Structure 1
Amino acid sequence: MPLQVTKEEFDQCVSEALDSIPEQLFKLVDNCVVLVEDEPPHCEDLYGYYDGVPLTERGSDYSGVLPDRIVLFRQPHLNECDDMDELVDEIHTTVVHEIAHHFGIDDARLHELGYD
């Protein structure tokens, strides 16, 4: 049975994960929003994704564009986690993983760093 957490509680966990990112690093995040949706569109076990132009690929012509998006999916997290501590850890891992993509770090490097 999935962990039972209100949307507000889940959003608070996401906020706390974002707050845990070191300030020096978080200041470098540019033109990016973090959103929470209930379910992923096509893949049941997708925890989140990054949609945008990584900082490493932005050139001098990068302007006037909509913000990049980091989207976290509530239900896959709840389905996977047995308690609040596990949920908080998993949300933190997902947030770090997706912010890393914003910085241009690919999945292979994240795997090397222990963020699967």
Structure 2
Amino acid sequence: MSRTFGPPPSAAEMEAIARAALDRLPSDFARHARDVALMVEEFADAETLAALGLDDPFELTGLFEGVSLPEQSIEDSGRLPNRVRLFRQPILDEWIADGHDLEHLITHVVVHEIGHHFGLSDEDMHALESADD
């Protein structure tokens, strides 16, 4: 469902696009990402923004929460599953401002956050993105 213009998707439609992006991951990665919870919210809550030192809720399009795979141990049993939170309004704002394909943008945010699940830092992912350009 490639969209470059038109009415904005609902949270449920955005979640479907994000889940499709996860389904397209190579099988070795998808197998290790299937237990990650995926949520779409309108904005990050004030507590999350404060914890990240952000004042503007439009600055945060997605967030990984949990313990990355390289950091997990047997002692982590019983904890909540890792999760990726997507923030609908900031994603839509970026979509409008940059004119990117919406599916591509959502995929980019999801893959970036799943990268944290695999233990990649923001710097690691920016270097990979730069090498891909």
Asked if Structure 1 and Structure 2 have the same fold, meaning a TM-score greater than 0.5 normalized by the shorter chain, the answer is yes
Q: Which moved more, 1:85-94 or 1:68-77?
A: 85-94
Gaps of 5+ in 2: 1-5, 50-56
Please list the CA deviations of residues 77-109 of structure 1 after superposition, one character each: whole Å capped at 9, or x if unmatched: 111114996111111011111111001111111
State how 1:97-112 maps to structure 2 within 5 Å. Answer: 97-112=112-127
Distance in 2 separating the partners of 1:63 and 1:16: 28
- Preserved CA contact (<8 Å) 2:58 2:93: no
Number of aligned positions between the proteins: 114
3-state SS of the aligned residue for 1:99? helix
State how 1:2-81 maps to structure 2 within 5 Å. Answer: 4-29=8-33, 31-41=35-45, 42=49, 43-81=57-95
Please list the CA deviations of residues 33-87 of structure 1 after superposition, one character each: whole Å capped at 9, or x if unmatched: 1111111223322110011011111123221111111101111111111499611
Runs of 4 or more, structure 1, over 3 Å off, are 82-85
Percentage of matched positions with identical amino acids: 35
Distance in 2 separating the partners of 1:6 and 1:54: 29
- Preserved CA contact (<8 Å) 1:4 1:78: yes
Q: Structure 1 residues 81, 97: closer, same or farther in 2, change over 3 A?
A: same
Distance in 1 separating the partners of 2:108 and 2:17: 12
Q: Structure 1 residues 86, 30: closer, same or farther in 2, change over 3 A?
A: closer
Q: Which moved more, 1:82-91 or 1:93-102?
A: 82-91
Gaps of 5+ in 1: none
TM-score by length of 1: 0.85
Distance in 2 separating the partners of 1:7 and 1:100: 22
- Preserved CA contact (<8 Å) 1:54 1:103: yes
